[in-house]
Structure 1
Amino acid sequence: MSDLKSPNATFYRPGQSTDSELGPPGRFRSSGTVLTSKQVKLLDMYGSQVDIGIVMSTDPTKIVMGRPISQDFCEVAVLLANKSDSPLFIKDHNKKTMKDAIGSHILWFLEYVYLSGASS
């Protein structure tokens, strides 16, 4: 997990455009990079990596797991659960933990999406 402190590590911060490269908190660097189709690490509320996935959409009007994505979330395709028993931020009748979500699409808070490097 040492790469989380890498100078190339970037996090999404609420209020930032998802159409730009994300920098350290308090800094915003516009580069035209989009979050959609990027491989990301999903973090829990304590900052621990719980999943590897691909951002599928940040469209706030798209419906995922029965609700609109909104400005605070993104749609993520879950590829690998690092902590399989970690709870999802948004649960439904079929998905409660990361292991339930492998191979499906979930909603995840943009604030807890970690984009490794500037390109993917």
Structure 2
Amino acid sequence: MILVDGHLDIAFNRLCFGRDARRSALEIRAEEAKQPAVAWRGDCMVGLKELREGRVAVIFGTLFAPRTQDWKESGLDPTIAYDNADQADAVARRQLDVYHEMAEAGGYRMIHTADD
């Protein structure tokens, strides 16, 4: 049986909170518990170790960008948010770059076609 997780904001979490989903979610959570609370962060729920232990074979990484008006009071990196279509495109491309970097580093693999 192949398990699929169809919605993971991995790149968003990497760019906003420095989370590296190649690491264990439990390790990240333990580190973040020692840090001050950060708006939007919540608890880390995704790590490669836990995905493998749960036998998740396919994940869909999202390209998620909040609107600036929803994001500005977070105090987090404003380049993660958008005001117009060009900015939204830039945010999405930056996140896509994160997924490519993760695939190149190993542990994750991009699926482009049915043959992959």
Q: Same fold (TM over 0.5)?
A: no
Give the helix-richer structure, 1 or 2: 2
TM-score normalised by the chain length of structure 1: 0.24
Write 1 or 2 for the structure with the bigger share of strand: 1
TM-score normalised by the chain length of structure 2: 0.24
